[in-house]
Amino acid sequence: MSKNLHVAIVGATGAVGVEMIKTLEKRNFPVGKLTLLASARSVGKTLPFRGSDIPITELKEDSFAGVDVALFSAGGGISKQYAPHAVQAGAVVVDNSSAYRMDPDVPLVVPEINAADIKKSRGIIANPNCTTAITLMALFPLHQEFRVKRIFASSYQAVSGTGAQAIEELRAQVHAVTAGQPVEKKVYPHQIAFNVLPHVDSFLETGYTKEEMKMQNEGRRIMHHPTFKASVTCVRVPVYRAHSVAVNAEFERPVSLKDAREVLSQAPGLELVDDPAKAEYPLPLYVAEQDDCQVGRLRLDCALDNGLAFWVAGDQLLKGAALNAVQIAELI
């Protein structure tokens, strides 16, 4: 990049916003000025960046004067309200919410998959759902080789996907249970400590949740594959950080393990960890705070024609959110 940029982060105090700041620094993004925006209640706080404490500024419609790139991670309502003002001020918006993901005029981008779509941007580029992004990091290379028809998948989603309050709720519940104290529930409808909840996002009339349908709907856009089908069950698990997904995929072309391993071993942003005899397979504990996703447990599916089963894990705060957004900004 030829110049230092004025970068703004909307929702800077949230879990993803904090990761965006860390990722900008880690990847040496050419930040000339960093503006951190949040609600009025966060004004007066600071966050560290390159050895300095950057003050939090209240988000307003006129907050984007001189901003080159605005990274949004404050929810769909905030994005709908303020992203147009950022674009009008001359900034390019990378939005981490669901607000624009299905807008046909807004590119939905995973840089390793469809970076060229950024050229179609009219000022806003959408970051995909975290579980979708992590799954597609393994599925798309296989799709290129074998042409995917459909998948059946179950996700194992960490509480940090819900936000900082969910992380604290899990910690508090673990302490309460081990100490024999009553468990308090605020974030989730049931106890999450030592439990799993087959309930991520709100339910639709079909019985699926919004989160579950994102895999199919967003996957079609990202892979440019309008007939792709995905039947998904999303599950919240008592893991602090990093999502995992079990995938059973059916392809148009015959699949071999040798070819699948070769494809996945060369895929960018993905590490093949697949030696069950040595108990080596992707684990959320070990992909947490890592940029690359991991894939393993490869096997020919015994119930699908041209089928392959695999397990993929990745840090949803990074590849599922902050890292993907910064990668998009690098491409801009």
Residue 223 reports pLDDT greater than 80: yes
Q: Would the CATH topology of 5-127+322-331 be identical to that of 132-316? A: no
What gap in Å lies between CA 320 and CA 110, rounded to an integer?
9
The pLDDT tens digits of the residues spanning 75-124 come to 999 999 999 999 999 999 999 999 999 999 999 999 999 999 999 999 99
- Banded pLDDT at 1 (limits 50, 70, 90): very low
In the chain, the percentage of residues whose pLDDT exceeds 70 is 99
Q: What pLDDT is attached to residue 314? A: 98
CA atoms 296, 301, 302, 306: torsion sign: negative
Look up residue 327 and give its two tokens. 């990668």
Which residue ranges make up the annotated binding site for phosphate? Answer: 101
Where does residue 278 rank: exposed (0-12), middle (13-18), buried (19+ CB within 10 A)? exposed
The catalytic residue among 130, 143, 234, 293 is 130
Distance, C-alpha 171 to centroid of its chain = 22
Where does residue 104 rank: exposed (0-12), middle (13-18), buried (19+ CB within 10 A)? exposed
Q: What pLDDT is attached to residue 166? A: 95
In the chain, the percentage of residues whose pLDDT exceeds 90 is 98
Q: What pLDDT is attached to residue 248? A: 98
Distance, C-alpha 232 to centroid of its chain = 16
Fold for the domain defined by 132-316: Dihydrodipicolinate Reductase; domain 2 (3.30.360)
Chain position carrying tokens 């309502």: 77
Q: What pLDDT is attached to residue 2? A: 53
The average confidence (pLDDT) of the chain is 97
Task: Considering only the C-alpha atoms of the chain, give the largest distance between any 2 of them, rounded to a whole number of Å.
Answer: 59
The pLDDT tens digits of the residues spanning 190-219 come to 999 999 999 999 999 999 999 999 999 999
262: Cβ contacts below 8 Å, ≥ 6 apart: none
Amino acid at 37: L
Fold for the domain defined by 5-127+322-331: Rossmann fold (3.40.50)
Chain position carrying tokens 């779509």: 117
From 227, 248, 259, 228, select the one nearest 303 (Cα to Cα): 248
What gap in Å lies between CA 156 and CA 312, rounded to an integer?
10
Q: What pLDDT is attached to residue 164? A: 83
Q: What pLDDT is attached to residue 301? A: 98
Q: Are 164 and 14 in contact (CB under 8 A)?
A: yes
The pLDDT tens digits of the residues spanning 17-61 come to 999 999 999 999 999 999 999 999 999 999 999 999 999 999 999
Question: How many residues in the chain?
Answer: 332
The pLDDT tens digits of the residues spanning 245-254 come to 999 999 999 9
The catalytic residue among 143, 234, 243, 293 is 243
Residue 277 reports pLDDT greater than 50: yes
- Banded pLDDT at 163 (limits 50, 70, 90): confident
DSSP track, 170-227: HHHHHHHHHTT-PPP-SSSSS--TT--BS--SPBPTTS-BHHHHHHHHHHHHHHT-TT
Q: What angle do CA 111, 69, 316 make, to 5 degrees?
A: 45
Residue 85 falls in the annotated catalytic set: no
- Banded pLDDT at 3 (limits 50, 70, 90): confident
The ranges assigned to domains in the chain are 5-127+322-331, 132-316
Residue 243 falls in the annotated catalytic set: yes
